[in-house]
Structure 1
Amino acid sequence: MAKNLLKSLILTSKSVKNKSSIGIPSVLFSRRLHMGDATPKEIKIPVKWGHVSGKLWGNENEQPILALHGWQDNAGTWDTLAPLLYKKRPILAIDFPGHGLSSWYPPGMVYYPWEFARLIIYIKQYYKWEKISFLGHSMGSIAALRFATLFPDEVTFYIAIDSLIADDYDLNAVIDKYPTNVLKMQKAQSRLNDEPPSYTLDEIIKIWHKSTRQSVAMDSAKYLLKRGSKPSMSDPNKFYFSRDSRLKHMLFNPEDKRFVEAIVKRLTCPTLYVKGLDSPFASDDFSVEMRELIKKTNPKFDCHLVPGTHHIHLNEPEKVANLILPFYEKYNLIK
C-alpha cells in the first residue's frame, strides 16, 4: 500500500510539473498566496530564469515563515513538520533553484550557496515583506543565517535545524576538492538534456536513504521523492532523480574562520537551534566553538541537542514541533 501511495505521489508531481511547462496558471503568480486551511497550496514565484516553486500551509492573509530545505532535498522536507505548526504561523516552503519543482539555472551556469542567500532578498521584495522569519534545515539554515547576519534589522526570528554555518572553513580541504568538482561540473553541463539513470521504487528509496548517510529514514523518503523524482520516459515503472545534476558538484565557497566568526557575531534575532545528536554535521570543534560564541553574543539564542539524525525534523517532527511552539510563546511570535 505504501508503495502504491508513493507511486501516486510521484505521478501527481509529474503531472503538476508538466502542466506548468505548458502554461502556468496566472493565479500561481499572484502576489497574494492563496491557501486553504487543510492542505498546502502549490505556488510559483516568477524569476528571470523561470520560476521558484513552493507550497504554502496556513492562512493566506498572514505573512508566512519562509522554510528553506537542505542541499539536494526539496520543500517536501517540511511535509511532516509543517502540519504541526501552520495553525500558529503559516509556512511557505520553497524549492531552491535546481531542486524540486523549481526551474534550473540556464545551461552554462553553476550553483553557489551564497546565491541562495541572495534569493531570499528577491522573495522578500517580491512579496513586499517588511521583515522575514526563517525555518531552515542544513543548506537552508546556512542561507538563512547569512541573510540574518547581513540584514539583522530585517529578520523577526530564525529557526535552524542541525546546521548554522557551512562545513567548508578548512581551506586546504576545500581547495583539494576543487579540481575534481570543476571537471565534474563541466561534464554535467554537457548532460543537462539526458535522462539520468532510473531505478525501481525500492531502489530509489534505498539510494536516497543511503546517500544521506541513512539520515532520511526509509519511510520518510517518499516526502522528498514526490518533488524530487520523475518516471522514466523509457520505462514508466522506474524513476530517476529529477533535480539538476549540477547541484552534486556545487563549488562550496572556502570561508576563513575569521570570516565565519565575524558573521555569527552579527546574529541578533531570536534564534532556535535544534541539533540532531546522531548527525555528523556541526559536531566538529569549530562548529561547537561558534555555537558557544552565539550563546555569548545573542541572549535570545536557544539551543537544544536532541537525539536524532540530520533530518530529525522530517523523521521525528514531534520532537522539533515541541521545541518550536514554546519558542513562539517565549518571544511572543504568535498572536
Structure 2
Amino acid sequence: MAKRLFSRSSTSLLFFNGFTNPVKTQIVKHIHCDTIKPEVPCKEIKIPVQWGHISAKLWGDENERPILALHGWQDNAGTWDPLAPLLSKHKSILAIDFPGHGLSSWFPPGMHYYSWELPRLILLLKEYFKWDKVSLLCHSMGSIAGLRFASSYPEEIDFYIAVDSLIADDYDLDLVARTYPKNMLNVNLAQTRLDQEPPLYTYDELAKVWHMGTRKSVSIDSAKILMKRGSKPSKKYPNKFFVSRDARLKYILFTPESKPFVETLIKKLKCPTLYFKAVDSPYASDEFSVEMREVIERNNENFECHFVPGTHHVHLNNPELIMPHISQFLKKHNFLPS
C-alpha cells in the first residue's frame, strides 16, 4: 500500500531531513490552482531543506504516493499545469520547483548550481516522505536528473517518463573550453547582484521575452503559465515585472561526461520507461543522443518511445498529444487498472 504524503490530523507532518533532525513541512493549504482547468484542486506545499525550502504543487489524492514531476532548466513546476489535471484523475502528482527556480529557495550566496545535485534532491525527497519507490515524470533537465537517479538506484524506482531528453546533448568540447572562462566570470558577477532586480517589462512584454528566450518553444499562453511562479512585480515600479528565478542558473557549467561513462550509466536503467521525442525540437537529436536512446532500447525491454509533433515544451503547449500514451503506458505496466 502506498504511504501517505500528509498527516490525516493536521496540515503539517514531520519528516526527516535526510541528515539527523526531524523537520516540519510548512504551508500545506488547500487552494484551486490557476490553470487551464481551474476546477481541479491542488495544494501548495513547502518542503524544508538545509538551504531553505523546496516549493511544490500536489495534484490529486494526498493519501497515495504521488508521481514526482520534474521541470526543465529555467522553467518551474507550472510546466505541468496543463497536463496535471488530466493525469491526476488517475495518479497524484507532486510537481516541484528545483532550487533557484519558481518559488523554491536559492542556493546561498557564494555557491553555485551543479547538475548532479538534482538526482541527489530526488533521493532527499524520497527520504523526506518515506516513499518505498519513486515514480518520475520529467522534462528536459528534469529528465536528465531523473535518468541519473533511475540508473543510479534501479531498485528504488517503479517507472520513468521523460519528455524530449534522456541525457545531456553532446557537446562541442572546443566550445565548452571557450565558454567556461566567460561563464565563471558571469557567475562571479551574478553573485554580486543577487539582491538587485533584473530588467523590467510590462506583463505582456515579459510573456514575449519568455517566448523568444525559449526560441519560441514555449507559446505566449504557456509563457504566462510559467510566469505565475517565475516572475514578480517590481518593488519600485509595480506595473513592471521581472524574471524571478536565480540569475546564476543562466551560467550553470554543464560539465561534459565521458561517453563510456554515460553508456555505462544508462545501461542500468531497467524500470518501465516511456520517452517522448518532440519532432520540432532541436534537442536530443545529435548523433550521440540518438545512439544512447538506441542503447537504452536494446538493454531495457520495457522501454518505449513515441515521436510526437510539437516543440521542446510539447507537454506544456499540447498535453493532449502525450496524455493518451501516458495512460496506455501506466495501464500496460499495471500502474493503472485496465
TM-score by length of 1: 0.89
- Residue 288 of structure 1: aligned partner: 290
Pick one of 234, 237, 243 that aligns with 2:236: 234
**Partners of 1:109 and 1:83 in 2: CA distance:** 36
Post-superposition offset of 1:259: 1.2
* Letter in structure 1 aligned against 2:127: Q
**Partners of 2:223 and 2:66 in 1: CA distance:** 26
**Partners of 1:203 and 1:145 in 2: CA distance:** 36
Aligned ranges 1:144-293 → 2 under 5 Å:
144-293=146-295
Aligned residues: 310
Structure holding more strand per residue: 2
**Partners of 1:27 and 1:109 in 2: CA distance:** 33
- Residue 5 of structure 1: aligned partner: none
- Residue 76 of structure 1: aligned partner: 78
Question: Does the CA contact (< 8 Å) of 1:181 and 1:249 recur in 2?
Answer: yes
Question: Does the CA contact (< 8 Å) of 2:69 and 2:136 recur in 1?
Answer: yes
Moved more, 171-180 or 107-116: 171-180
* Letter in structure 2 aligned against 1:212: T
Question: Does the CA contact (< 8 Å) of 1:171 and 1:255 recur in 2?
Answer: no
Question: Does the CA contact (< 8 Å) of 1:163 and 1:281 recur in 2?
Answer: yes
Question: Does the CA contact (< 8 Å) of 2:198 and 2:242 recur in 1?
Answer: yes
- Residue 45 of structure 2: aligned partner: 43
- Residue 329 of structure 1: aligned partner: 331
Question: Does the CA contact (< 8 Å) of 1:160 and 1:272 recur in 2?
Answer: yes
* Letter in structure 2 aligned against 1:244: D
Moved more, 148-157 or 170-179: 170-179
**Partners of 1:35 and 1:139 in 2: CA distance:** 29
Question: Does the CA contact (< 8 Å) of 2:170 and 2:289 recur in 1?
Answer: no
Q: Which runs of 5+ in 1 are unaligned?
A: 1-25
C-alpha distance 29-54 of structure 1, shift in aligned 2 (>3 A): farther
Which structure exhibits the higher relative contact order, with contacts defined as CA atoms closer than 8 Å and separated by 6 or more residues? 1
Aligned ranges 1:10-159 → 2 under 5 Å:
27=11, 38-159=40-161
C-alpha distance 274-324 of structure 1, shift in aligned 2 (>3 A): same
Post-superposition offset of 1:169: 4.5
- Residue 22 of structure 1: aligned partner: none
Question: Does the CA contact (< 8 Å) of 1:69 and 1:137 recur in 2?
Answer: yes
Q: Which runs of 5+ in 2 are unaligned?
A: 1-9, 16-24, 32-38
* Letter in structure 2 aligned against 1:319: L
Moved more, 259-268 or 28-37: 28-37
Q: Deviations over 1:179-221 (max 9, x none)?
A: 1111100000000011111101121001100110100011111
Question: Does the CA contact (< 8 Å) of 2:170 and 2:288 recur in 1?
Answer: no
Post-superposition offset of 1:117: 1.1
**Partners of 1:238 and 1:286 in 2: CA distance:** 43
- Residue 15 of structure 1: aligned partner: none
* Letter in structure 2 aligned against 1:114: W
Q: Deviations over 1:123-169 (max 9, x none)?
A: 00000011100000000000000000000000000000000001254
Secondary structure of the corresponding residue to residue 27 of structure 1: coil
**Partners of 1:301 and 1:174 in 2: CA distance:** 32
Question: Does the CA contact (< 8 Å) of 1:272 and 1:327 recur in 2?
Answer: yes
Question: Does the CA contact (< 8 Å) of 1:29 and 1:44 recur in 2?
Answer: no
Secondary structure of the corresponding residue to residue 40 of structure 1: strand
Secondary structure of the corresponding residue to residue 113 of structure 1: coil
Post-superposition offset of 1:334: 2.0
Q: Quote the RMSD (CA, aligned, Å).
A: 1.6
Post-superposition offset of 1:236: 0.8
**Partners of 2:53 and 2:324 in 1: CA distance:** 34
C-alpha distance 34-205 of structure 1, shift in aligned 2 (>3 A): closer
- Residue 35 of structure 2: aligned partner: none
- Residue 14 of structure 1: aligned partner: none
Post-superposition offset of 1:34: 7.0
Question: Does the CA contact (< 8 Å) of 1:29 and 1:45 recur in 2?
Answer: no
